[in-house]
Structure 1
């Protein structure tokens, strides 16, 4: 190659290098800007999703709490929402909120809740539906009393003020056996509970007798119950037999064999045996 051609070839390569370097620099600048924009977008997205108020639960719709005050429920819910995971992420965030855990915590704090459903509504609403337990009676043993629902479930220990402030007379069943009552367990059979709550109305309707709301049982396992009339004598019943049949037997006995003037002399009437009835007068057995 001649000297002139060499110089021309070298000049051409130099010119190509000058073109390539600016192109590379422009690409690098664009890539850097793109990375920065992606980082900014990601940071904004993360902040919006996890730390801003956009997905913060701020509207709670409660239904089904007939006796549990809404103020108490809202306070408990707010405490749950204000807590944090690892002291960083709010539990009140729509994404982080664990509906199942909130349901468990509320049932633990409020024993009267029988069923509860927590549903998240995007972006910041909670819909909470619950069903409360029905207080049917108090079961007492060795001085301790518990709230019992229609299924025989002991859902909460009751103090004297709670027992007095129920808005009406509630049956109190005293277990003379002294057997422990465990909170959070089924301690009475549902059919036994159903039998107990029917006694007062059935006796009054068929015989006109009024009974006290404090019942007794020698052992709740036996499913027997002793009620006392306002005249002072007792009626022994067995839930294995329909209350209607037992009360009919009681009515027949009172109408046929015991004169009304003798009722004050009664000690008890025993209806625990099928097709048999026993009664005792004060001072003797008949």
Structure 2
């Protein structure tokens, strides 16, 4: 096919140059109609007609070949799919979803893996809906045989679980549930358990941004605390409640409230542990309640 393209290109080049010079000569010449000049004009008209005929003889085969090359030959067949931007999502999963969209035929043997015919927007939409961990996806066509899939993964902000701890989901920075989660796995992000039976579905908004930011601040302050060690596990009566409970590794719990200042709550906690509940008394401690402003409640078994 390469030699055909070269022949066509060479013929087209020569033909277009000839037609161009003929037109220029016709515009510039102002000839008196003598017998000799009439013969010259006739000769030019004959040459012009010849080149016009040659133009159309080459033009239509060229169109046919171009049509075949674009729609039916392997000239624009996609044989390379490159994935960029993935870190936790396996490249094979994204390639599989992309390959699924370009497999098969449209009509008369016209294959879907044609770079000219393939719809990047359709592939983007199908990948986004099939792989919830992907935040954004962009398809770029690279001539003549490649698709480049650029993705941005959702960042895990925290996880939420409902009642029996079997229905758990990962939330991104907007509070949207984008993937299921196993609470048995080791994590570096907080897990919030609701004691109320709430229905959560993928794609739903579970928590607002401000609430999640307070969770992260709470986790950070717990890490900075040296008086005790806490688990990443947090509990709340429901996802609309401002009450959050933290379980320490010693077994006792701390009750926080997001409607009051967290910094002041930690100051109260530090004072009560230093002055009234030293380390030797904590083995019988059930909880410390910091929810009411300027007051602290605690209970032993």
Shift of 1:234: 0.8
What are the Cα deviations for residues 111-163 of structure 1, in whole angstroms up to 9, with x where unaligned? Answer: 110122222233333232221112233211143111222321101233x4xx4
Partner of 2:243: 224
Partner of 1:240: 259
The question of whether the paired residues in 2 share the 8 Å contact of 1:210 and 1:229 is answered with yes
Partner of 2:169: 146
Which blocks of at least 5 consecutive residues in structure 2 are unaligned?
1-48
Q: What SS is found at the alignment partner of 1:213?
A: strand
Shift of 1:176: 0.9
Partner of 2:96: 75
Give the whole-Å Cα distance in 1 for the aligned partners of 2:159 and 2:82.
32
Q: What SS is found at the alignment partner of 1:245?
A: helix
1:41 aligns with 2:62: yes
Partner of 1:261: 280
Give the whole-Å Cα distance in 2 for the aligned partners of 1:272 and 1:118.
50
Shift of 1:85: 3.6
Shift of 1:229: 0.7
Larger radius of gyration: 1
Shift of 1:240: 3.4
1:128 aligns with 2:149: yes
Equivalent in 173, 179, 183 of residue 156 of structure 1: 179
Q: Return closer, same or farther for 1:52/1:274 CA change in 2, 3 Å cut-off.
A: farther
TM-score using structure 1 length: 0.76
The question of whether the paired residues in 2 share the 8 Å contact of 1:200 and 1:211 is answered with no
The question of whether the paired residues in 1 share the 8 Å contact of 2:230 and 2:248 is answered with yes
Give the whole-Å Cα distance in 2 for the aligned partners of 1:272 and 1:88.
70
Shift of 1:35: 7.5
Alignment of 1:3-152 (within 5 A): 39-85=60-106, 88-142=109-163, 143-152=166-175
Q: Return closer, same or farther for 1:168/1:108 CA change in 2, 3 Å cut-off.
A: same
What is the root-mean-square deviation of aligned Cα atoms in Å? 2.7
> For this pair of structures, how many residues does the alignment match?
249
Shift of 1:170: 4.4
Q: Return closer, same or farther for 1:175/1:87 CA change in 2, 3 Å cut-off.
A: farther
The question of whether the paired residues in 1 share the 8 Å contact of 2:288 and 2:298 is answered with yes
Shift of 1:184: 0.2
TM-score using structure 2 length: 0.73
Q: Return closer, same or farther for 1:95/1:281 CA change in 2, 3 Å cut-off.
A: same
Which blocks of at least 5 consecutive residues in structure 1 are unaligned?
1-26
Give the whole-Å Cα distance in 2 for the aligned partners of 1:235 and 1:208.
13
Q: Which piece of structure 1 moves more, 37-46 or 135-144?
A: 37-46
The question of whether the paired residues in 2 share the 8 Å contact of 1:114 and 1:131 is answered with yes
Q: Return closer, same or farther for 1:44/1:223 CA change in 2, 3 Å cut-off.
A: farther
